Structure 1
Amino acid sequence: MQAHHHHTHAPVSRHEHGHHVLQVEDLSVGFRMYEEDVPYFRAKQRETEVIDRLNISVHVGEIVAVVGASGSGKTLVADAVLGLFEPNATVHGRIWFDGELQDADSLQKLRGHGISLVPQSVNSLDPLMKVGRQVEGFAHPDESHAVRRRRREKLFARYGLSEAVAGMYPFELSGGMARRVLVCCALMDDPRVIVADEPTPGLDLELAVRALGDLRTFADEGGGVLLITHDIELALQVADRVAVFENGTVVEETAVANFASPDLLEHPFSRALWHALPEHDFQTGGGSPC
């Protein structure tokens, strides 16, 4: 791999029009909080930093997997890319999309219209609205109802969802069907980048592999995917590069092929993740990924 702009390139990496489709540099995210052990009216605010000077990028045609322990703050990376900031958040850094520097307002406008999210919970679907109407609602607002419906029908056919599914409510869907509906929602406005935040919880192995295969297809057709997951075993099956996340930042970026041996990994936490894989008998190798 070749080092470039704070990261390394996988063999499939492509700089379309000379730039990355998504680039994050020196991202830091903290939260202003009141002291917990002091009476409320005497408590002072303090800032707790969760993300620290993180660098990551996604090229055209690739999946970059951000892997690390559950509850380590990986979802905050997705939130930042999508322009989702809590009122007490302090955010520093730079994010480029398709070669243009973004701010909070422009990232918000891109959400669903250039950068799409596959959320980690199927509870993101509105339980009181039929599935077809929900998916069509993710299309560009300027498109007519007929155009939205035709696009939704094509996506349903592509992902093995019958027209009968359009008339169902979310509670009538199986777990695998609901996951595919979420992918259809993400694809309705023809995005350049998909951010998939833990897209496989609750799925059996076959359905999980299929869900990630959908993301692989999107990347192979010219998109870019930022896959955020704690399931490194599954991520290694579809990703091109792995960004190892620990203590609020990426400690190592490496090609998937380098997870063939701990000797090819540079950081102790990366090697701990390797040792913790099932085929390596969950040995931590002197470190712990949890």
Structure 2
Amino acid sequence: MLVVKSLTVRFRRHGAPSLTVLEGLDLAAPRGAVTGICGASGAGKSLIAAAIAGTLPRNADVSGRILVDGAPPSRGGIALAPQGLDALDPLATVGAQIARFARLADRTEDPAALLPRLGLAPTVAQAWPHELSGGMARRACLATALATGAGWLIADEPTAGLDAAAAERIMALLGTLASDGYGVLVISHDLPRLAAVAGEITVLQEGCAVETAPASAFRGNGEALRKPFARRLWQAQNVCPAC
């Protein structure tokens, strides 16, 4: 179980008061399931990913607790697949990058064996990032995260910039990884697709969690959702389920 208790993030600013960007966030995510975080742009979703993965910038002050199975996260226990595809090194092949992440975690990983788990041919290990489609690049990012051997995977906006078919494949893949025993936290603006694979979703508004509900609540007009903002967010996206 990944548990986040009272997570607050503030950024120090020169000559100005600190800026609070996340406040009092509580989250509980079980292994073997997809747990979702959704919200409008600027709500602070990616900051949650960075805070849990320990990649916030130096001017960030963090309070609260992050626990994995009741203890602080161990080195290499949580892997982040970041939002930007520029996370892939343009000067290294996919296989070399997978091997690099594995070495950093004191592991050996055969890229040709890992890639088929993500729906990529073993030959993709010899490909350069610029030779990949958007969907293939997303899966390559996931491969570098899995190469660390982490039991927890955070996918930050995994469908951003993808066409409908590729986005659905990526979400389905994340659901499969959860079924295989990984703990999967998906941070996304793509609420309809997130609701199709997640067990529970937390809706974020301006750095605060306004509602946590089972994915089954995101149906119809959102009548099962308690908070007006969560219903509006769902209704705005559910007008066109493929959007």
The one of 51, 61, 79 aligned to 1:80 = 51
The answer to whether the aligner puts 1:171 opposite 2:134 as a matched pair is: no
**Identity rate of aligned residues, in percent?**
39
On the 8 A contact 1:121/1:199 being kept in 2, the answer is no
The answer to whether the aligner puts 1:130 opposite 2:84 as a matched pair is: no
Deviation at 1:140, TM superposition (A): 4.5
The answer to whether the aligner puts 1:148 opposite 2:109 as a matched pair is: yes
| Matched residue type, 2:57 | E
Runs of 4+ more than 6 Å apart: none
The answer to whether the aligner puts 1:71 opposite 2:42 as a matched pair is: yes
On the 8 A contact 1:68/1:229 being kept in 2, the answer is yes
The answer to whether the aligner puts 1:257 opposite 2:216 as a matched pair is: yes
C-alpha distance 176-33 of structure 1, shift in aligned 2 (>3 A): same
C-alpha distance 160-275 of structure 1, shift in aligned 2 (>3 A): closer
Q: Deviations over 1:192-238 (max 9, x none)?
A: 11111001111111111111111101111111111111111111111
Quote the residue 1:114 is aligned against.
77
On the 8 A contact 1:139/1:189 being kept in 2, the answer is yes
Quote the residue 1:25 is aligned against.
5
Quote the residue 2:236 is aligned against.
276
On the 8 A contact 2:112/2:123 being kept in 1, the answer is no
Deviation at 1:270, TM superposition (A): 0.7
Quote the residue 1:14 is aligned against.
none
Q: Deviations over 1:240-262 (max 9, x none)?
A: 11101012111110011112243
The answer to whether the aligner puts 1:185 opposite 2:144 as a matched pair is: yes
SS of 2:102's partner is coil
| Matched residue type, 1:184 | A
Q: Deviations over 1:122-164 (max 9, x none)?
A: 1110001111110111115433xxx422xx2221122332333
C-alpha distance 280-262 of structure 1, shift in aligned 2 (>3 A): farther
C-alpha distance 218-280 of structure 1, shift in aligned 2 (>3 A): closer
On the 8 A contact 1:66/1:244 being kept in 2, the answer is yes
Q: Deviations over 1:72-113 (max 9, x none)?
A: 21111011101122221111101101220x2xxxx5x63xx2
SS of 1:266's partner is coil
The one of 187, 197, 201 aligned to 1:228 = 187
The number of residues matched between the two structures is 239
d(CA) in 2 for partners of 1:238, 1:126? 30
On the 8 A contact 1:59/1:224 being kept in 2, the answer is yes
Deviation at 1:280, TM superposition (A): 7.3
Quote the residue 1:37 is aligned against.
none
Quote the residue 1:8 is aligned against.
none
SS of 1:277's partner is helix
Quote the residue 2:69 is aligned against.
98
On the 8 A contact 1:67/1:231 being kept in 2, the answer is yes
On the 8 A contact 2:37/2:186 being kept in 1, the answer is yes
Deviation at 1:173, TM superposition (A): 1.2
d(CA) in 2 for partners of 1:277, 1:156? 32
For structure 2, the residue ranges without an aligned partner over 5 or more in a row are: none
SS of 1:185's partner is helix
Which range moved further: 254-263 or 124-133? 254-263
For structure 1, the residue ranges without an aligned partner over 5 or more in a row are: 1-19, 35-43, 282-290
